[in-house]
Amino acid sequence: MCGIIGIVGDKPVSDRLVEGLRRLEYRGYDSAGIATATPAITRRRAEGKLDNLVSVLADRPLTGIIGIGHTRWATHGAPTESNAHPHATEQVAVVHNGIIENFRELREELAAKGHQFESETDSEVIAHLVTAGMAEGLSPQQAASAAIGQLHGAFALGILFAGQDNLLIGARRGSPLVVGYGDGEMYLSSDAMAVGPLSNRICYLAEGDWVELTRDSAIIHDETGAVVEREIRSSTVAAESIDKGNFPHFMLKEIYEQPTVIGDTLNTYFNALSGGAFMPEMPFDMAQVPKVTIVACGTAAYAGFVAKYWFEQIARLGVETDIASEFRYREAAMPDGGVAIFISQSGETADTLAALRYAKSQGQYIVSIVNVPESSIARESDVVLPTHAGPEIGVASTKAFTCQLTVLACLVLTFARARGAIDDATVDRLCSSLAHVPELSRDVLQHDDRILSIAKDMTEARDVLYLGRGSLFPLAMEGALKLKEISYIHAEGYAAGEMKHGPIALVDDGVPIIVLAPSGRLFEKTVSNMHEVIARKGQVFLMSDEQGLKDAGPVPHSIALPAVDDFIAPILYAVPVQLLAYHLSVLKGTDIDQPRNLAKSVTVE
C-alpha cells in the first residue's frame, strides 16, 4: 500500500524514479510524485495514475542526482495533487507508506510553532517534524531520528534534504523497506521488485531500523540508534520481468500462466513417483497437532476456507478459519501446540501479519504460505511454504490463489498420511487427481470462448449471485469477489443450501446466478437448490461437467468443464470464475489491472 522509491546517485534520477514507480504502481495509484534536491527541494506531483505524472514531467522535467518518489493509496485525505507525496518544507521532503496515528497532536504542536500545512495527510507532519528538529540545530540524521521517535503507527519513510545531494534517510516500522546496493549509487524501495533493474543486491531493513544512505554506503541503525549490520542478499525477484507479453492485461496473462505456475508449485511439494505430497521438515509432529487455525484476507482467505473442508474431510483434523481483520481482535483461544497457517500473496498484508503475531503469542506454530519468500510474514514464520506463482501484478489475485490451493492440498495430504487418516487407495486417488491439475487447468482454459459468450449475456446485470456447496462454497465467494472488484457489478457468493433461508428473495429474471456444481458427492443437493432458483425465473448459468449437465435437467445456460475429482474441483473451477469476471469487465470497459479504490499490497489495517 503506497510505493516508495529513492535513489542517491551520480547521474540524473528522474526517469529512474518514474521507472521504479511503474513497478510499484500495483501498491496504489491514487496519485504519484517525485522530488529531487537540486540543491533546493523540487517536486512534481499528479493526481491519478503514474501516466499523469509522466505528462507533468514531460512539460516540466526535473533534474537532480538524488531523489525520492511515491505512488499513493489514499488513507488520510482525498487523492488530490496537494495530498500527493512527496510532502515537503523548504528543507525536507518525505515519502511515506503507512499511517501516523498521532499526526493530529503533532500537527497541532507544530502549527502552534508557526508551521503551515498544505495537505490533509498524516504524512506531511513528518517533513515538518524533521524541519523543526533541524531548526533547533540538529543534523539531518539527528533530526530524522528524533522525528521517527515521536511517530506512532506504521510507516516506511524516505527523507530528502535540501542542499544535500549525498544523503537519503530511510526508516521502517511496520511497513517493509528495502535497501538496494549499486555501483556508486544506493537505492531505497518498498519492495525488491522496484529496484530490480537497478540492483540485485538488497537488504531488508528490520523492524525499527533506520538507514543513512550515501552514494557509497548504507549505515543502518536499529531502534536504539546503534549501528547494526543486516544481511545483504541477492534478490531473486529483482530480475523478473513484469511485462504483459502479448496479453492485453496482466490479469489475463496471469490467468493463462496457471497451468505452468501450478505445475511449478506442485513440483515443490509433490512427487508422484516417490509417494506423492511431501513437506519440508516441520517443528511439530503432524500426528499430534490438536487444531489448525487458518487466517488470511480476501482471496487468500477463500483459499483457507477451501482448505478447511480438505483438512476436516481428508486429514480428520479440526480447523478454524477467519479473516485476519476479525481474527486479530477477537482474542481467540488457541490450544498449546496448535498450528496456525497464514496465507498471503504479498506476505505484507498488515492484518494477516498482526494475526500471525497474535497466534505466536498464543504458543502456536506458525506456517505461512506466501508468494514473496522474503516478505515480513515469511520472515516471522516457523515454516515458510512458498507458492511459485511468480510476480502477480494484476490487482485481482488469480494465479496466486490457485497456487495457494495447490500448496494447501499437498499440506493436507501430508497431514492426512501422518495422522493415518486415509487408506492407501484414497491416497492414490487424491494424489493421482492432484498430479493432473496443471494439465486439467490447461483444458479449462480451452473453454475461454464459451465463457466470453456467457459474459456477453450478463453485461446488463446489476447483481450476480454465485452458488456452491462444500469446497465450492468458498469458490462461489471468490467468484463474487473477483466480479465485484474488477467489473464493479454487485455480486455475492452463497452456500447453495442457504438460499432458501433468505437470499432467494433476491431472485428474479434480471439476476444471473452462477452455479458451481461438478458432478460428485454434493451434486444432487446443489442441483436441487438450482432448480428452486430456476422455478423462480432465476437466470442460471451452470458450470459443471458433461455428466453433470446431462443429470441436471434443463438449464437456461451452461458450460461443460472437464470431469474432475471433488478434491481438486476448487482449483479448477477457479479458472472459469476468473475468466468470467475478466470478460465481463472488459465488456464493461473497467480498469481491469488497477480497479478503482484498490491496491495490491494492503499494509494498513
Please list the active-site residues.
2, 600
Q: Which residues of 450-473 are buried (b: 16+ CB within 10 A; e: fewer)?
A: bbbebbeebeebebbbbbbbbbbb
CA dist., res. 273 & res. 281, Å (int) = 20
Binding to ligand F6R, residues 410-439 (CB under 6 A): none
- The residues with which 88 forms a beta bridge, in sequence order, are 93
Q: Among 297, 340, 416, 461, which residue interacts with ligand F6R (rule: CB under 6 A)? A: 297
Q: Among 485, 492, 566, 593, which residue interacts with ligand F6R (rule: CB under 6 A)? A: 485
> Residue 24 corresponds to which cell in the numbers above?
510499484
- Cα–Cα distances (Å) from 451 to 90, 217, 471, 580, in that order, read 56, 54, 22, 6
CA dist., res. 222 & res. 248, Å (int) = 45
- Would you tell me the crossing angle of helices 399-418 and 569-588 to the nearest 10 degrees? 170
Cβ proximity to ligand F6R, 175 vs 349, nearer residue: 349
Cβ proximity to ligand F6R, 374 vs 485, nearer residue: 485
Query: In angstroms, how far is CA 115 from the centroid of its own chain?
Result: 37
Q: Which amino acid is at 420?
A: G
Cβ proximity to ligand F6R, 30 vs 545, nearer residue: 30
DSSP 206: P
Q: Among 268, 349, 471, 487, which residue interacts with ligand F6R (rule: CB under 6 A)? A: 349
Cβ proximity to ligand F6R, 396 vs 584, nearer residue: 396
Contact 453, 348 (CB under 8 A): no
352 contacts ligand F6R (rule: CB under 6 A): yes
Number of residues engaging ligand F6R in binding (CB under 6 A): 14
Q: Among 67, 298, 512, 576, which residue interacts with ligand F6R (rule: CB under 6 A)? A: 298
603 contacts ligand F6R (rule: CB under 6 A): no
602 contacts ligand F6R (rule: CB under 6 A): yes
Nearest residue to ligand F6R, using CB? 298
> Residue 355 corresponds to which cell in the numbers above?
494475526
- The enclosing H or E element of 270 equals strand 270-271
Cβ proximity to ligand F6R, 73 vs 567, nearer residue: 73
28 contacts ligand F6R (rule: CB under 6 A): no
Contact 540, 554 (CB under 8 A): no
396 contacts ligand F6R (rule: CB under 6 A): yes
544 contacts ligand F6R (rule: CB under 6 A): no
Tell me the closest approach of the beta carbon of residue 451 to ligand F6R, in angstroms.
Answer: 18
Contact 138, 169 (CB under 8 A): no
Binding to ligand F6R, residues 308-347 (CB under 6 A): 344-346
Q: How many CB atoms lie within 10 A of CB 379?
A: 16
DSSP 174: B
Using the contact rule CB under 6 A, the part of the chain among 114-122, 201-209, 295-303, 457-465 near ligand F6R is 295-303
Q: Among 75, 189, 397, 603, which residue interacts with ligand F6R (rule: CB under 6 A)? A: 397
91 contacts ligand F6R (rule: CB under 6 A): no
376 contacts ligand F6R (rule: CB under 6 A): no
355 contacts ligand F6R (rule: CB under 6 A): no
Residue among 111, 52, 108, 113 nearest 80 (CA): 52
200 contacts ligand F6R (rule: CB under 6 A): no
381 contacts ligand F6R (rule: CB under 6 A): no
- The enclosing H or E element of 377 equals helix 376-379
> Residue 284 corresponds to which cell in the numbers above?
511439530
14 contacts ligand F6R (rule: CB under 6 A): no
375 contacts ligand F6R (rule: CB under 6 A): no
> Residue 2 corresponds to which cell in the numbers above?
503506497
**Rule CB under 6 A: which residues touch ligand F6R?**
297-300, 344-346, 349, 352, 396-397, 481, 485, 602
